[in-house]
Structure 1
Amino acid sequence: MKVLRYSTQIHKWVGLVVGIQVLFWVGGGLVMTAIPIETVRSEHRLKSPTPAALLLDQALPLTEIARLSGVAPAKAELKSTQRGPAWILTPVEGAPVTVAAATGRPFAPMTANEAAALAVAAYRGEAAPRPAVLLDPAPKETGREGPIWRVDFQDAERTAFYLSPQTGEVVTRRSAVWRFYDFFWRLHILDFKNGENFNHPLLIGLTLLTLSIVVTGFILLWIRLARDLKTARAVRAARRKAAA
């Protein structure tokens, strides 16, 4: 029977090609469902920030800030930070610029001791911090550009806080759990460069091949069930004939 022969061959050889990737998909799916995303993001290690009063009398008007900073903002945000009030100025083109709201100038350079103190203040837990390190450029895992402070904590997850060198805010968090999760995520979508693209030809091609395994598997199952049913009917007919 040609359908049976072709389905068997497709099922066997395609299964050999994509079997390992199917294993990665299943393993990655298990990891991503077994580990809560809040744990991956180290949300349990970050204290809820206490809202600080924004003293407007300490902040210069936006027009003065624009003049002092030399930035003509298309968008501006006045916010309270760990190092005092700040204006976040976003020009029409280019990256946002952060300046102290009281002076219109960039914040003074942050020291390692200050970075460590701010990280400890934001950390939930009893683990001791390691010395703060200024990284320039920021590691790829942060998804950010430019310099960034890193403070590692000696907890079970090996939590790392990344802090803005301007405002001292914890802008992102990473840990051994996040890196474990990220490894399986990259295996899952087959994007080992950025871990973001799940529309590339390799993944689409393997998904189509896997679909062919499922389809041919159903064909083989249908043929097998039809054969078994036919055999069962023949056996019952033979027994009735023998009994008669």
Structure 2
Amino acid sequence: MLRLSTQIHKWLALIVGLQVLGWVLGGVVMTAIPIETVRSEHHLAKFQPQALPAEGLVGYGQAAAAMGVTPVEATLKSTLRGPLWVLKDADGKSHVVDAKTGRHVAPLPAGEVRFLAGAQYEGKGGAGAPRWFAQPPQEAGRPGPLWAVDFDDAEKTRFYLSPETGEVVSRRSDVWRFYDFFWRIHILDFKDGDDFNHPLIIAAAALTLPVAITGLILLWIRIGRDLRGLLAKRRRA
């Protein structure tokens, strides 16, 4: 049992040892950094949206007709740009209509984007020049188009904003990127960072299981040996 456990433990540990180290390091990072900090929630200003007026707004049917879409989902929202209808079609594409005029909402100009980003930011950083992404980077976690505004704070916070509603749809920072690096190591998905059921991670976990089992066996044998040696010394004494 000792020889077999030693061989299994040694050779499998050579294969999965680095990944086990990555899991432990990732676990330390993910438990040490509060998820609220990772999500930059402390940099999102807290404000109460204005109440929607009881009258003077167009219905979702009129808004849908103005856009020429058949929505499968319609949401009336109070935003910094006023009340808006957000209509989602069967393909998942969103269409935004001004709930007061019934007209399509044009994408925000850069100057207004910078103002709205600053209004939704909490912290000491200043807003940089907005950048337009027809196809935003993967870190945004949202399809385009999107506006991005960087703030010159210690964490290099970045806000991604909807070009129609002006809302911050995702927040990123160097803390998030550091966390995401270890998350990808943790799940062994370096492409998208969201698949933790792929064959590689399953194989790594399956190979790690006998390493843990044989490690416990070797520990049990070693403890038994040490106890027997200690008892033998006491008898001789």
TM-score, normalization: structure 2?
Answer: 0.93
Task: Judge conservation of contact 2:66–2:104 (CA < 8 Å) in 1.
Answer: no
Task: Judge conservation of contact 1:46–1:124 (CA < 8 Å) in 2.
Answer: yes
Question: 1:229: how far off?
Answer: 3.5
1:193 to 173, 191, 199: 191
SS of aligned partner of 1:57: coil
Determine the C-alpha separation between the residues in 2 that align with 1:173 and 1:229: 56
CA offsets 1:97-122 (integer angstroms, 9 cap, x no match): 22111233321231111000000111
Determine the C-alpha separation between the residues in 2 that align with 1:228 and 1:50: 66
Question: 1:89: how far off?
Answer: 1.5
Question: 1:68: how far off?
Answer: 1.3
Question: 1:96: how far off?
Answer: 2.8
Question: 1:235: how far off?
Answer: 4.4
1:50 to 43, 48, 51: 48
Per the alignment, residue 118 of structure 1 pairs with: 116
SS of aligned partner of 1:173: strand
CA offsets 1:111-152 (integer angstroms, 9 cap, x no match): 111000000111111211111111111221111112101110
The structure number with the bigger radius of gyration is: 1
1:73 to 68, 71, 74: 71
Q: Structure 1 stretches of 5 or more lacking a match?
A: none
Question: 1:222: how far off?
Answer: 2.1
Question: 1:189: how far off?
Answer: 0.7
- C-alpha RMSD over aligned residues: 1.7
Per the alignment, residue 9 of structure 1 pairs with: 7
Question: 1:66: how far off?
Answer: 2.0
Trace 1:1-244 onto structure 2 (pairs within 5 A). 3-237=1-235, 239=236
Question: 1:186: how far off?
Answer: 0.3
Task: Judge conservation of contact 2:150–2:157 (CA < 8 Å) in 1.
Answer: yes
Determine the C-alpha separation between the residues in 1 that align with 2:91 and 2:124: 43
TM-score, normalization: structure 1?
Answer: 0.91
Determine the C-alpha separation between the residues in 1 that align with 2:109 and 2:227: 78
How many pairs are equivalent?
237
SS of aligned partner of 1:47: coil
